[in-house]
């Protein structure tokens, strides 16, 4: 997990030093129309380490920090990096496919960010640790309070929102989240079954 966070941080620092030049996103971001034509295929991996601003990388790395350590214990640390990339690729392919089929102009917009890969980690977490308690903000009448809720509820609601938002127009690649999540879910199910 820490290797992935450090890699993302180093790439983000490089982006910052380049002034977040748009050419970075065009070269290293995943452009759906190109991916499905078999062009610039390395970008489906490089895009996993590119972020558009501080809040983008912070959100992705925060979720990775919260859920990644325990999933890393299940996968093993070397396999964690491998599966992180695989989940990101699955998310990217899902996004590219839907963008080309239904997205119109979205098929020419580069997708960047670790969220598809991180979604795969969440998918694995819900299988490995469904009853683990996640500290979260929850509404309580007119206030918001901290509460410890089971992982399957926290991640379950998160996944439902990805499905609901995936049908609208947005700069967020929600379908990549769904594809990565499904990859993590299936992988964790297979690993858990193999350990029995």
pLDDT in tens, 72-130: 988 888 899 999 999 999 999 999 999 898 866 678 899 999 999 999 999 999 999 99
Residue 78 has a pLDDT of 87
Say how far residue 5 (Cα) sits from the centre of its chain. 13
| φ and ψ of 76, to 5 deg | 95, 150
pLDDT confidence of residue 1: 83
pLDDT of residue 173: 86
pLDDT band at 135 (very low <50, low <70, confident <90, very high): confident
Residue 20 is part of which domain span? Answer: 2-195
State the chain's mean pLDDT as an integer.
90
Query: How many structural domains are present in the chain?
Result: 1
Confidence of residue 136 (pLDDT cuts 50, 70, 90): confident
Q: Which residue has the higher pLDDT, 149 or 196?
A: 149
On the question of pLDDT at 32 being above 70, the answer is: yes
Band the pLDDT of 170: cuts 50, 70, 90.
Answer: low
Q: Are the beta carbons of 100 and 33 closer than 8 angstroms?
A: yes
- List Cβ neighbours of 126 (8 Å cut-off, separation of 6 or more): 151, 152, 155, 156, 185, 188
> In this structure, what CATH number is given to the domain that contains residue 14?
1.20.1540.10
Predicted local confidence at residue 106, as pLDDT:
77
């Amino acid at each position: 997990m820490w290797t992935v966070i450090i890699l993302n941080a180093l790439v983000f620092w490089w982006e910052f030093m380049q002034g977040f030049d748009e050419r970075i996103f065009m070269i290293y971001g995943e452009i759906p129309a190109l991916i499905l034509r078999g062009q610039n295929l390395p970008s489906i991996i490089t895009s996993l380490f590119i972020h558009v601003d501080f809040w983008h990388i912070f959100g992705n790395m925060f979720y990775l920090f919260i859920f990644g350590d325990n999933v890393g214990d299940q996968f093993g640390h070397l396999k964690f990096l491998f599966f992180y990339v695989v989940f990101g690729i699955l998310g990217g392919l899902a996004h590219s496919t839907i963008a080309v089929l239904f997205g119109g102009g979205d098929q020419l917009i580069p997708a960047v960010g670790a969220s598809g890969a991180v979604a795969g980690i969440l998918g694995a977490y819900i299988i490995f640790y469904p009853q683990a308690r996640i500290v979260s903000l929850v509404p309580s009448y007119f206030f918001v309070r901290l509460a410890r809720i089971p992982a399957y509820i926290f991640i379950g609601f998160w996944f439902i929102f990805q499905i609901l938002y995936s049908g609208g127009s947005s700069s967020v690649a929600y379908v990549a989240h769904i594809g990565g999540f499904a990859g993590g879910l299936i992988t964790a199910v297979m690993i858990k079954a193999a350990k029995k």
